[in-house]
Amino acid sequence: MCSDGAGSFNTEFPANGLSIRVGALKAGQLATRACAADFAWKKHSLSVVTNAAQIDLDSFGIDLGLRAPVSTLAIRKSSADCCVEYRVYSLTTPPRLLRTITGGGYFIAADTDLDGHVEIWTSDAAAINGFAGLTSADVETAPTMVLRFNHNKLLDVSAEFQSYFDNQIASLRAEVTDSDLRQFKLSDGKRLPDSSLPFQKQQSLRSTRAKVLQIV
């Protein structure tokens, strides 16, 4: 909803009048090129995020399996960061921080299979960054994870969505030719950059390595 100070959003939870504002961080009466988020109720306010590069109000008033309606914020503290922080706040007065999840490239709460349970979709960007000489920029999509709260415990329920991963693997496999795979095997896992190889071949190997890693 807010990126480098651009964009804003306000909404209110009807049950108790608690509201949230996501928008530019203010310096006096002037907006800055940073984002902030704060809750307000009656004559009270609570600043929960200040000076972030991006803030997305991902959900508001949903049942995430934590026994109370919640609001979720996806926060990228710096535009150079590989990863996003996901904060889950109770919509009580005052609001409370219930959970923080880190290491994802993105976070989206959704009832994808329409079974009445909301899952948190994310990618394990922190795990991929620096793995096998690759950066998060090399890998088009870091490993997808699907999380769900059950009795206040955060569970990995990715295995329940196998068709999603099957389609993802098929799409990636179609992008890798047999020649690409032969060159990848012949490289014997050498780290890149490798000065003994032409730059174009290094880039091709790097791309293949990233796709193979995504498939695995």
pTM: 0.86
Residues 168 and 186 in one domain: no
Residues 98 and 182 in one domain: no
Domain coverage including residue 48: 2-174
Q: What is the pLDDT of residues 92-138, one digit of tens each?
A: 999 999 999 999 999 999 999 888 899 999 999 888 877 777 776 77
The pair of three-digit structure tokens given for residue 137, joined into one six-digit string: 């920029």
Residues 154 and 196 in one domain: no
Residues 82 and 62 in one domain: yes
Q: For the chain, how many structural domains are there in total?
A: 2
**Segment 77-95 mean pLDDT:** 94
Residues 91 and 145 in one domain: yes
Residues 167 and 127 in one domain: yes
Q: In what order do the strands lie in the sheet with 9-13?
A: 9-13, 18-27, 30-41, 44-52
